[in-house]
Structure 1
């Protein structure tokens, strides 16, 4: 809270901001002003509602303060900026941007509110550093509805999710957030303007695309799902995803060792035994850590 304290001119909004943050990271099943206020022992949510609807404070400046803290804590020039969206299922029709749309959180079309987020992923940690609310055309084209909801005039334009991702990446680069790569799913990998913007910042990217997307090669355009067949078998390598419960890797190695290899020397058997014991130990340790956090 010390980082964001200068953003509030009065103590009361700052106190309510701290209460709101504590409620958002609590174990409450539903998190809104009413449930958080009750969790805090307050009889009404008036203080939290005043903070969000009428109090004077700079939300964008408060957004940037944790980002700077995260960069100070574990910034790395090889870090990855991950763009992704998430949805919050809503019951009513008054939450800004709400409409029936596909929500990955629900796994189906729901009455929901969508936002695009930017995650900073570095070797020493990862955290969200930015966000942008998605305003569907049904909202952006309805100026009266936007005005009634209190959306500032300069925030009412329609922008696709990849366009919002460009804005988030631009802000990170402008703030000198150290990073080397951008990652995203098919929603973002399919947008050429987003990919061009990333290249313009001198960043690499790894993004999913649809299997039927055609990409240029020396032999001409070809579908991406046909590319693996063009790569010779000796060019493929197997890499560990890191320490953890490597039971799938162990099963594959066991299958290869027992069913595919017909001639084994004593040295190879000893090597396999050492490999199996090492990864069984990792699997057990990972399981113990998971139990500790349950």
Structure 2
């Protein structure tokens, strides 16, 4: 255990090495240890009780809520360390819900979270994770502000706007869509020198055409989920120029056939196009060597031409 504590202290010292004040470096290291100690609650008071001689609740609370330090500096150091340790094959974009009661926490609202699998009262944090098949680490994150907390939004809620000052929210911070927060963090992480070989995320981000376009503009390869209700044209579809009378603006190129949903395109491909894929062991008992059933499904790979609102019109795009 002594060796583990020494390694943890060395890691924490590296994260907070750029802090000019010794007290910030000390309580930053203590806070990291408090997060990793056994115990479900990660708020300051129960953490302080677990930290022994470093369990100064007031000092820890001051470090988190009042002491001026740049979190981007800590995130950059963490990203450098994890990039070297993991050798990432992908950057995963995700979000996590933090269930909350009361009115003392910032950006709490009734919204969907996968943590609970439903709409409930929570905070939502958007995060970036460096990952391989065997390891991952969160290296950048943002707290999502619902429109109800933004005084400039038509959806602003007077009670929540009134709590901004008490929650320590700067006046300049407003509602930003989750996909835009993800792009902003990708830009920041790249500015630190972090190489991004591939961006991976679910339909919560992949459904936003602006997010996909943002990745393309940054020349980043990606594999994103989209909903089955999204529309597209088959890969062999070609837009045509409608008849033009020679006056006014020429009509835009159009596809002769209507769009189809992704679900319909997959069904049209037929069962023969599906390929079985097993990707990892699950939690249910099975007959594999490990004793657990492997996760398994059938997948269809199709080349298509995206359609719908938000998709840029090109004469012969992919």
> Structures share a fold, TM > 0.5?
yes
The structure where strand makes up a greater share of residues is 2
Cα separation, 1, equivalents of 2:271 and 2:171: 57
Find 1:6's aligned residue among 13, 17, 37.
Answer: 17
Measured against aligned partners, the alpha-carbon deviations of 1:89-148 in whole angstroms (never above 9, x if no partner) come to 112112111122222212223221111011111255211111011011222216653333
CA 80–48 in structure 1, closer or farther in 2 if over 3 Å, else same: same
Cα separation, 1, equivalents of 2:27 and 2:218: 38
The CA deviation at 1:84 is 1.2
Assess if the C-alpha contact under 8 Å between 2:97 and 2:115 holds in 1: yes
Q: Does 1:102 align with 2:112?
A: yes
Cα separation, 2, equivalents of 1:122 and 1:280: 23
Find 1:153's aligned residue among 147, 162, 171.
Answer: 171
Assess if the C-alpha contact under 8 Å between 1:246 and 1:283 holds in 2: no
CA 216–50 in structure 1, closer or farther in 2 if over 3 Å, else same: same
Cα separation, 1, equivalents of 2:283 and 2:104: 46
The CA deviation at 1:214 is 0.6
Q: Secondary structure at the match of 1:153?
A: coil
Q: Secondary structure at the match of 1:196?
A: helix
Find 2:190's aligned residue among 164, 170, 173.
Answer: 173
Cα separation, 1, equivalents of 2:36 and 2:232: 43
Which position in structure 2 is the counterpart of 1:273?
Answer: none
CA 62–91 in structure 1, closer or farther in 2 if over 3 Å, else same: same
Find 1:15's aligned residue among 12, 26, 31.
Answer: 26
Q: Does 1:206 align with 2:223?
A: yes
Assess if the C-alpha contact under 8 Å between 1:162 and 1:188 holds in 2: yes
The CA deviation at 1:233 is 4.6
Cα separation, 1, equivalents of 2:288 and 2:162: 62
Which position in structure 1 is the counterpart of 2:279?
Answer: 241
Find 2:147's aligned residue among 124, 137, 140.
Answer: 137
The runs of at least 4 aligned residues of structure 1 exceeding 6 Å deviation read 245-248
Find 2:66's aligned residue among 54, 71, 85.
Answer: 54
The CA deviation at 1:280 is 3.3
The CA deviation at 1:157 is 1.6
Cα separation, 2, equivalents of 1:72 and 1:216: 42
Name whichever of 177-186 and 80-89 sits farther off: 177-186
CA 124–106 in structure 1, closer or farther in 2 if over 3 Å, else same: closer
The CA deviation at 1:197 is 0.7
Which position in structure 1 is the counterpart of 2:52?
Answer: 41
Assess if the C-alpha contact under 8 Å between 1:75 and 1:178 holds in 2: no
Aligned length, in residue pairs: 253
Assess if the C-alpha contact under 8 Å between 2:97 and 2:125 holds in 1: yes
| CA RMSD, 1 decimal | 2.7
Q: Secondary structure at the match of 1:211?
A: coil
The CA deviation at 1:198 is 0.9
Q: Secondary structure at the match of 1:67?
A: helix
CA 212–124 in structure 1, closer or farther in 2 if over 3 Å, else same: closer
The CA deviation at 1:34 is 0.5
Assess if the C-alpha contact under 8 Å between 1:88 and 1:114 holds in 2: yes
Q: Does 1:32 align with 2:43?
A: yes
Cα separation, 2, equivalents of 1:182 and 1:106: 25
Which position in structure 2 is the counterpart of 1:67?
Answer: 79
Q: Secondary structure at the match of 2:13?
A: coil
The structure where helix makes up a greater share of residues is 1
